[in-house]
Structure 1
Amino acid sequence: MSKTLLLLYKASVAHLNNLQKIAPDWSILHTTEKVVAEKMIENAEVVMGNHHLCESLPFNKQQLKWVQTNSVGIDFILKKCGSNLEGKIVTNAKGVYNNEICEHTIGLILTLQRNLHLIRDAQQEHRWERPMQLPLLSGKQAMIIGYGSLGKAIEEKLTMFGMKIFGVNTNTQYFFDETNTTKKHWKELLPAIEIVVLALPYTKDTINYFGEKEIVQLSPNAIIINIGRAGTLDEKTLYTQLIAGKIRGAALDVFNDEPLDATHPAWDIKNLFVSPHMARSREINPPFQFEKLFEENFSRYINKKPLLNIVDTIKGY
C-alpha cells in the first residue's frame, strides 16, 4: 500500500507533478472540501495546508507523522487542533512571506512619516492641506521587536533608508551595540526610539509583551507598527496615548477583535492607520507562495534529511 500525502488547498498540475517526481510511489491527494478531507486524511502520513486541518485530524488512523502549515503563525492551529497534533512533526511557512510583509511594513511606516493618511482624509473633505514639515527616516532609530527571519528582513530594508536598527530577541531580552561590547536591556532605549516594529509570534510569553510600561516610555515623536500577532500589544493603552497626543502615530495590521466592529474606537483615532490584516495577501488560486518551500521540505522528508522550519509546539513558534 502506497503512502499518502494530503494537500488541503487547490493544487496546480505543475505543483502536483513536482511532488509526484519527488515521491513517485506516493499517493498524492488534494481537496478544499471539509467532508472530503475527513475521508482522505484517514491514511495520510503527511498533510500540507491549514484549510479544514483541525476538523479533519481526528479522522486520521494514526499514520500521520508530519503536518506542514501554509502560515507562519500557528498559535491558532495549536489551540484549535489541541492533542490531535501530539507526537506529530509540525513545520510552518517561516520566511515565505517575508518580502511581501516587508513591503507592507515599509508602506505603513512611510504613510505615517509622510502623513499620507491625514492627507487622504483631507482629500475626502476637499481640503488642500500641505504639512509644514515632514520627518525623514534617515538618521532615525528603529527597534524591531521579534528579531526572527522576518524581523531581520525588515531590518535590511530599513537600513537602506539610513536608519539605525536595534533588533530585540525575546529569548535573551537584550541587544548588543555596534561594538558588541556593551550589553543593555532593550527597554532602556525606548525613550530614544522613534519607530517600533512589532513582529512577534503569539505565545503565553508574548501576551501584551509591548504593554503599558513600554508604551508610556516612548517619545511624542514615536510611531508603532504591528505586523506580528494580535495580543502582543496593549491596544487599550496605545489608543489612550494616541488620543492624548503622547505618541505621534500607529499602524496596526492585526487587532484583538477581527474584523473590527463598526463601533470600534480604532476607526475614529485620526493618528491610527487601520490595515485590515493585509500584510500578507489572501491567496485563493495557485501558484501559491508556499509551494516551493513545501516541495523542498517534502524532498527532505522523502530523503530523510532535516526538515526546515520545525515548530516547537511547547513554545508556540
Structure 2
Amino acid sequence: MKKIVITRKINPTMIQKLEKDFEVVVWNEAEKPMPRERFLEETSDAHGVLAMLSDKVDEEMLSNAQNLKVVANLAVGYDNIDLESARAHKVIITNTPDVLTETTAELAFTLMLTSARRVLEANRQLMAGEWSGWSPYHMAGTDIFGKTVGIFGMGSIGAAFARRLSGFRTKVLYHNRSQSELGDSLGAEFVSFDDLLSASDFILCAAPLTDETKYRFDKAAFERMKESAFFINIGRGAHVVEEDLAEAVEQGQIRGAALDVFENEPIGKDHPFVGMDNMTLLPHIGSASVDTRNNMMNLCVNNVMEVLNGGKPITPVK
C-alpha cells in the first residue's frame, strides 16, 4: 500500500478519503510544524506528501525519499520547495491556485481599511480604559475614497483586490513583470516600479516571491514613497527588508504598514514591528476562512490521489 504523509492536522474527512486506498501518516499538531527530523524520517518511504509552507522540500529531503512521486503544497506559493531538485528527482509539485483568491483579497482589503482608520490602535485605547472622550482629531485616520492605490503583482489576487476598489472611486496603478490584460481590463494603469512608489497613497504587495521580487521593498523604495502612504503586504515576508520598513515607519518616512506575512515566521514579542501603533500585524491568515482552507485541502488530496493512481495532477507547478 502506498504511503502518504500529511505534515499538519487537517479536516478528518480528507484523511478518511485517502485512507480508503493508502497508508496515511498525519502529524496531529494543528499549530506546530512537523519537526524536521520526523519529516525526513516519515517521508523516507513515502509516495506522496501533503506539505505546508513551513516544510522545506529540498535536496536533502528529496534525495532521502526514493519512492516519492508527488508533493501537494497547501498554498499558492511554493518558495519552500526546491523546484529544480524536484524535477531532477522526477517528483511532481502541485499547489492550490484560484481557490483562495477571493478570500486573500478580502484579507488584503481588511488590512488596508484597518490600517487607514487606525482600528486596532483605537480598540487598544478603548479596551485599556484610556478613551477620555470625543475631540476633533481623536484617532483621525486616512480616507481611501478617491485615493491612488498601487498594486505590486497583478495576478489573480491583485486583480481581485483591484475589483474591490471600484466602489471607492480610487485610481488604481499596478506594476508587474509585464503588462497584464487582467489589470488593463479592470481599468488599472500599468506603471514603472518607481512611479508606483511615488504616486500611490496605498501600496499592496501581492506578488509571488522570486529572485526579482525578493527584498524589492528596501530603504530606497520606502524613501520614494509618500510620507502619507501605507504599505500592505500579503505576498511573502521576504519581499521586504524588515529593518528598513521598521525604520521608515518609525521615522515617519511612510505613514504606516499592514502585514500578514514576515520573513521568518512565526514572529515573537521581540520583533521590531511589535508594539508600533502604526503597524497592523496579522499571523499569516490570508486564506484563513473555513470554506477556503477546506477547498485547499481537498485540492491537495485530489492532486495526490490523481498522481498516485496513475493520472495527471490537477494543478501542477510548471
Q: TM-score, normalised by structure 1?
A: 0.75
- Paired amino acid for 2:300: F
Written as runs of structure 1 = structure 2, the 5 A alignment for 1:187-202 is 187-202=194-209
1:36 CA displacement = 9.2
Structure 1 residue aligned with 2:178:
172
1:90 CA displacement = 0.9
Number of equivalent positions: 299
In the alignment, does 2:22 pair up with 1:27? yes
Structure 1 residue aligned with 2:282:
275
The answer as to whether partners of 2:202 and 2:231 remain within 8 angstroms in 1 is yes
In the alignment, does 2:300 pair up with 1:297? no
Q: Equivalent of 1:233, from 236, 240, 254?
A: 240
Residues 165-200 of structure 1 deviation map (CA, whole Å, 9 limit, x = unaligned)? 22322x2278986799x9642422432211101123
Residues 233-265 of structure 1 deviation map (CA, whole Å, 9 limit, x = unaligned)? 132332222223232211122233444443443
Structure 1 residue aligned with 2:69:
65
Written as runs of structure 1 = structure 2, the 5 A alignment for 1:7-156 is 7-10=6-9, 14-16=13-15, 18=17, 26-32=21-27, 38=41, 42=45, 44=47, 46-50=48-52, 54=57, 57-61=62-66, 63-78=67-82, 86-123=89-126, 124=128, 125-128=130-133, 130=135, 132=137, 134-156=141-163
1:269 CA displacement = 2.8
Cα distance between partner residues in 2 of 1:90 and 1:163: 38
Shift in CA distance, 238/300, structure 1 to aligned 2, threshold 3 Å: same
Shift in CA distance, 52/197, structure 1 to aligned 2, threshold 3 Å: closer
- Paired amino acid for 2:240: L
Q: TM-score, normalised by structure 2?
A: 0.75
- Paired amino acid for 1:29: V
The answer as to whether partners of 2:40 and 2:64 remain within 8 angstroms in 1 is no
Cα distance between partner residues in 2 of 1:19 and 1:263: 41
Shift in CA distance, 113/129, structure 1 to aligned 2, threshold 3 Å: farther
Structure 2 residue aligned with 1:256:
263
1:69 CA displacement = 0.9
The answer as to whether partners of 2:261 and 2:282 remain within 8 angstroms in 1 is yes
- Higher mean C-alpha deviation, range 120-129 or range 99-108: 120-129
Shift in CA distance, 241/280, structure 1 to aligned 2, threshold 3 Å: same
Residues 49-69 of structure 1 deviation map (CA, whole Å, 9 limit, x = unaligned)? 3386748655533x3222111
**Structure 1 residue matching 2:231: 3-state secondary structure:** strand
**Structure 2 residue matching 1:152: 3-state secondary structure:** helix
Cα distance between partner residues in 1 of 2:101 and 2:73: 16
**Structure 1 residue matching 2:82: 3-state secondary structure:** helix
**Structure 2 residue matching 1:137: 3-state secondary structure:** coil
Q: Gapped runs of 5+ residues in structure 2? A: 29-33
Cα distance between partner residues in 2 of 1:47 and 1:291: 12
> CA RMSD of the aligned region, Å?
3.8
Shift in CA distance, 270/184, structure 1 to aligned 2, threshold 3 Å: closer
The answer as to whether partners of 1:78 and 1:85 remain within 8 angstroms in 2 is no
1:145 CA displacement = 0.9
**Structure 2 residue matching 1:267: 3-state secondary structure:** coil
In the alignment, does 2:306 pair up with 1:311? no
- Paired amino acid for 2:143: L
1:225 CA displacement = 0.6
- Paired amino acid for 2:317: V
